[in-house]
Structures are given as structure tokens and as C-alpha cells.
Amino acid sequence: MIDATQLRLATGLKVNSALDNPQNFFTAQSLNNRASDLGRLLDGIGQSIRTIEAADNGITALTSLVEQAQSIVQSARDELAASEGEARLVGTVDLRDTGTGDLVADLGIANGATLDIITTDDSGAQITQQVTIDTGDTAYSLAAEITNAFADNENGEIVASISDEGFLQIESADGRSFRLVDEATTAITQAGLDALGIGEAFSTETRTGAGTTDLTATIVAGSTVTSISLFEGTGDLVEAGDLIGGAGVSYTDADGNTAFSLTTGSLGITVTETDGTSTSSTVVAVTGSFQDFVDSINQDANLNQLVSANFDSSTGQLSITSLDDQVANVEINVAGATAADTISFGFGDPSGNLDPITAGAGAEDISIRFNNSTEALDSLANDYNVLRGQIDSLVADAQYRGVNLLNGDDLTTFFNENNT
């Protein structure tokens, strides 16, 4: 009796074995076993909840990163669309901070200086508007004058504005190319163009037999500029293997008008980088072929890092592609032309009517400014890749005890002791 009492006191149980009370003992054993099973189930459910919470926390963090990635993608789309859909010249000087705001007084531009803006209308005909900078004009009034000139007198082919950074922006609609020519008696001059922040797009272009030189810039959409289709006198398309020029060699446009003839001399290209000092060039004599000209560019160790060239025999077109945002402008150089020669490649203008160079003697230079977005797109791509790396890290960390729902792992949770 004493032993039984001591055992009960020690265990806290009235029934310690089946000998004490078989019915109560086995009932208690069954209840204890079920309680143990339910405890294990509860632990498993708790682990599953923590796994789901880890995934939920990961999703919350990922949502913000995905929204940032979507914003970057949209920015890249906008940048690419802007680059390919319009020709655009953006300055590099904050014109809001010139002092009084007067472009004449602050920048030293001559009062009454003019700039011709040339483009084509929807029919392909050349249209020109001239803007004048007078005393008292500000960056904003200059941008408004450019926009209003085409809005009031044409169909709004060219618009200008001042960006949030204070830069002068001149752009076209519908991907059309345009030219800026500083040829008036009262010129803006290179110094004035530099002060406006657009000087690096300009180069000296030699025109006509009188040797007239103008500061010009041809602004084209995207990173590739293509000439008009050139035809032989027989009506056949010019092919890459055809001679550039020579006695009796003349090529026409689709309407039969002489587009390119070079009796003597050479055809070359000069690429200027944005630092203004680095230039690369190559020259091919008229006795060479258009393919020779293309090869001289693509095989030049300096040039082929900046531009590439191609002559498409199926269309009779010569094209130049900018490969780097460091390309400020490209000049197509014609040397040794005679008064009877014609230089009108129509780069960037399928109609061939965008301010063609007339017959001249000596040298003609065609200056082209690309509307690249390579650098901007590269920056956006880098930002996007950084976000992807962060997303991958978050996904890898959104696990609990080796189970990662965001990584596609299965989570098994039992809600009864039979594991069903």
C-alpha cells in the first residue's frame, strides 16, 4: 500500500499500469498518443506557416523591384522609340543660367543672327524656315520661335523646347531628317553655336564651285543613315562592285536626275568624337568601287570601333551606322570635284530633296549627326540587370528550412495523424 502511494505521488498518476486499472490505463495511453500526434501536426503546420510567411515577405519585396524593372523597361522603350522615330538634337549647355537670359548679351551672339532649318514635308518637297536671334531673346523665346515658324507656316514638322535641364532641344516628327545651316550674312558662328550647346553637331561644309563654306548639321533619326537609291544610266541599280566615279561615270536617282558624278578625286569619310579632338578618316579614289569604300571603313582599326558601312546592291544604297555614342558627327568628304560634278547622296532623306549639294569644284563635305540612344539604353540595361540580380537574391533568400516556394519547391502539410 505504501509503495503504491509513493508511486502515485512520484508520477502524479492514479493509474500507472494496466494492473491498477486496465480500462483507465489504456484510455489514457490512447489520449496521450493522440495528443502527441496532434502536437507533431501543430509543429508541422507552424513550420508551413513560417514557410508561407517567408514567401509572402519575398513577394512583398519583389513587388517593389518588379515595379522598378517595369519602369526601366518603359524608359528603354520610350528612349528607343524616340531615337528611331524622330531626329533630335539636344544641347549640352544650361541656357537658364546665362546671366540676364539675353542670348545676345550673355552669349555674345550677334544681334540679328539667323539660322536656317531645312526639312521636307509629307510630299518630300524641301521646306525651309529661318529663325533670327535678336537682342532680348531668351532660350525659351528662341525655342518658341522655331516651333511657331513651322507651326504657322508649315505643318509643324519641327518643334523646339527647353528641357528640364535647360538644354535646347530641336526635333522632328515622323522620323524625318532635318538640316541646320548657318549661312546668313549675320551668322551665329561656331562660337555662338557652342554657346547654345549645339556646336558639336556642326562642321564646315564646302558647297558649290565658288567654294562657299557654311556651318551645317544634318540630324537623322536612329543610328543608321542611308543614301537614296542610285541607278546607272541603263536604269539598273548601282552595285557594290561598281566604280565610284571616273570619266563618263554618272549615277541617277529614281527619277533619272543626276545624283552623283565624280570625274576625278576621291570619296572619304571623317568621324569626329564628342571630345572634339579625336578624328578618324579614310579615303578611296574614284577608281575604286563602292565596296572598296565600305571595306576601307570596316577594316580600319580606328573607324570600325565608331561606325560601320554597307552598300546594298539590291537597293543601290550606301549606309553608315554609328556604333558608339561618342560619335559626334560623320562627314562624307568629296575631294577633287569639277564644276560639272554633282554630289547628292540624299543621306537620311529618301526623297533626295533635303538641301542637296549643287554641282561644284574642289571639295564638298556632307556633315551628319546621328540621334543615338546607345549610351542611354546601355545605362538602362545595366540598371535592369542590377535589379535582376537583386530579384534573384531575394528569391534565393525567401526560404524556410530548405523549402522555397518562390523557387518552385513543394510544401507538404499534414492536418491529421494519418498523414492524409
Residue type, 390: Q
Residue 200's Cα: distance from chain center in Å? 19
Q: What is the pLDDT along the chain (420 residues), one digit of tens a residue?
A: 565 566 555 665 666 666 666 777 777 777 777 777 777 778 777 888 888 888 888 888 888 888 888 888 877 776 665 555 568 888 889 998 777 889 999 998 999 999 999 888 888 788 999 999 999 999 999 999 999 999 999 999 999 999 888 999 998 877 788 888 887 677 888 899 999 999 878 877 665 545 566 788 888 877 788 888 999 988 899 999 999 988 889 998 888 888 888 888 888 888 887 776 667 788 899 899 999 999 999 999 888 988 999 999 999 999 998 888 777 778 888 888 777 777 778 776 666 666 665 545 555 667 777 765 555 666 778 888 888 888 888 888 888 777 777 777 887 777 776 666
Are residues 91 and 142 in contact, defined by beta-carbon separation less than 8 angstroms?
Answer: no
Grid cell 513587388 in the structure block, residue: 63
Residue with cell string 560601320: 308
Size (the chain), residues? 420
Q: Three cell numbers at 192? A: 555662338
Yes or no: say if 331 and 367 are a contact pair by the CB < 8 Å rule. yes
Residue 19 neighbours by CB distance under 10 Å: 8
Report CA-CA distances (Å) from 46 to 43, 91, 102, 301.
5, 62, 73, 66
CB distance 203 to 217 below 8 Å? yes
Give me 279's grid cell: 578624328
Residue type, 64: S
Q: 3-state DSSP call for residue 172?
A: strand
- Cβ–Cβ contacts within 10 Å for residue 379, how many? 14
List residues bridging with 199 in a β-sheet. none
User: How far apart are the C-alpha atoms of 158 and 146, rounded to whole Å?
Assistant: 8
Specify whether the CB–CB gap between 395 and 406 falls below 8 A: yes
For residue 397, what is its C-alpha cell? 533568400
Rounded Cα–Cα distance for residues 327 and 411 (Å): 56
Nearest to 82 by CA among 171, 199, 202: 171
- Distance (Å, rounded) from C-alpha 254 to C-alpha 256? 6
Backbone dihedral angles phi then psi of residue 111, each to the nearest 5 degrees: -60, 125
Distance CA 265, CA 284 (A): 9
In three-state secondary structure terms, 330 is strand
Residue ranges in 161-315 assigned as alpha helix (H): 189-196, 290-298
